[in-house]
Amino acid sequence: MADHSRKKLDLAGQRFGKLTVLSPAENIGSRTAWLCRCDCGQETAVTTMRLRDGHRTSCGCDKPDHDGTPGASGRASLTYIDGTCVEMIRTRTVRSNNTSGVPGVEWMTKKQRWRATICFKGKRRYLGSYEKFEDAVNARKEAETHLFDAFLDAYSGKIPQSELKTIEEACPPIARDYPRLDLTGQTFGQLTVLAPAENIGSMTAWRCRCGCGKEIVVETAHLRSGQTSCGCKPCWNFVDGTFIELLRSKTIRRNNTSGVTGVEWVPASRKWKAVIFFKGKRYYLGCYENFEDAVAARKQAEEMYHDSFVREFEARGALDSRAPPCPGREAVQRPPDIRNIILQRKDGLE
């Protein structure tokens, strides 16, 4: 069996602001603590977390009392320069929601690549995406050397402030090294995508022309999740408990792990399961050893169930009507029974 033990953290001799770690102290609750001496001579016990996240940099002597004079109790304040926390940069704390173990490195599920970024003085810089985790970490470490280490050296007086580089100089902008989504020319209901537009916040946006002639800017997420007009016509058509726009867009949910809607891996059976939802019901399409077979079953069900339903709806001219969808509208002709799809699929495999 592999040995998963790791070397115990030792902070003895390290400095955190005005605190110098002397030796391990008795735990505070369930947290490891250290005996520290402040520059004022006072000794205090501080947990590892408080030292490394920058929340404690002194015994409290630099925090003013109520009368405005320096006090001997309370939590030391953090040091901010140009919007940058010196203590956070020094400790390189890994946030609790970090999944890679390295600050600024994250896995992009849709792109299947590792992305590296860095934030400095209120600006976030993209450092590239990589197939290998080690390459993304190296890019991040190199950026930290140019920005963080130089910043700390200037703060401690080792180098003059004039030698510091801006984030633009240290990390020049680089082009995205994976294909950018291009929706130009595609149609979403009454909207036709004309060209990319300026981002809305951090979201990619597109300039679109509606069927009524009006041009608007729409986010990618809104287009792909079902926005079909500029607002001149109903955005949603709800028939028999089914959203027509959702069937048409074939949006993949964020929590999908296979990349195909309705296909998921079942660890217990070691097989791929295919399902489909329609008119408020969930239909089981079978379990398959091969991923391709599960996808084929799902696609066949979509064609015979979802796509035929949408085609029948559009043939009736429902999307061209300016009147809101009526709850009492006659239901669209029902496509072939889904049970026949399952039986046909099983016969094909046998």
Tell me the per-residue pLDDT of 262-278, one tens digit each, with 9 for 90 and over.
Answer: 899 888 888 999 998 88
Q: Count up the domains in the chain and report the number.
A: 4
Tally of CA atoms within 13 A in the half-sphere of 48 that contains its CB = 14
Question: Is the pTM for the entire model greater than 0.85?
Answer: no
Nearest to 19, CA basis, from 48, 157, 81: 48
Give the confidence band of 134 by pLDDT, cuts at 50, 70, 90.
very high
Question: What number is the average pLDDT over the span 153-158?
Answer: 84
Give the confidence band of 175 by pLDDT, cuts at 50, 70, 90.
low
For residue 1, is it within any domain?
no
Domain boundary residue, one of 192, 217, 233:
233
Give the confidence band of 236 by pLDDT, cuts at 50, 70, 90.
low
For residue 193, is it within any domain?
yes
Q: pLDDT at residue 193 above 90?
A: yes
Read off the pLDDT of residues 2-16 as tens digits, 9 standing for 90 and up.
444 456 788 889 998
CATH of the domain at 227: 2.40.50
Domain boundary residue, one of 188, 209, 233:
233
For the chain, where are the E strands, in sequence order? Answer: 15-16, 19-28, 31-38, 43-47, 80-81, 84-85, 105-108, 113-120, 123-130, 187-188, 191-200, 203-209, 215-219, 238-239, 242-243, 263-266, 271-278, 281-288
Range scoring the smallest mean pLDDT among 35-39, 42-46, 64-68, 185-189: 64-68
Same domain, 338 and 240: yes
As a whole number of angstroms, the distance between CA 36 and CA 13 comes to 9
Per the structure, the complete domain to which residue 24 belongs is given by: 12-77
Contact call for residues 117 and 107 (beta carbons, < 8 A)? no
Same domain, 344 and 252: yes
Report the chain's mean pLDDT, rounded to a whole number. 77
Same domain, 268 and 302: yes
Same domain, 212 and 133: no
As a whole number of angstroms, the distance between CA 212 and CA 232 comes to 8
Angle in degrees, 0-180, between the axes of helices 291-301 and 338-349, rounded to the nearest 10: 150
Same domain, 159 and 192: no
Same domain, 147 and 227: no
Diameter of the chain measured on Cα atoms: 86
Same domain, 121 and 110: yes
What is the tally of helices (H) and strands (E) in the chain?
Answer: 10, 18
